Structure 1
């Protein structure tokens, strides 16, 4: 097992968002450490976008990821449709959703739609 020294922290809210969105740690880490774009978003925060996600992080050192957002309107729409079609947002449902999304990524596409 490889361990990494991570020069940022993740808020409880951002961790819950990552789980609900079905993200893995590499996606979040890459958005934070190797973003495609960085834009200021208010007092002491910035958007750091990479791939399908945008993290909102503090600019202090060490930074803290405050929340995680989808980067595209299509991803927002797909996420809302998936949650709505399941009819609930409790923890077990969100865990099932996360696992289903992970399986979709591993099999190279979207299933069940």
Structure 2
């Protein structure tokens, strides 16, 4: 009986400890742990912001839209909060390839969506 209980608890623990590697958390975005330091293009942008003393006016947000993750790098002096939107590989998002409805939905997700995580500033 004890062996069955142990096996059942072990299986339950293993199942609950599994994580979705594509999930979106403060420490995991674009399938990378610590994206601010482990995505080379994003690290370069943050290093540049620090060098220019702009890290205190920079916000980095990871968001998900239609199963894809994106990263928005926003500086307070920018007039467009979704203009610096990147794919996980660091390429700017080309909105012209999207339908008008998808463009509007993506902009809404980026600016006020539910599934997003602030990567910087650290809180």
What is the TM-score of this pair, normalised by structure 2?
A: 0.28
Higher alpha-carbon Rg: 2
Q: TM-score, normalised by structure 1?
A: 0.29
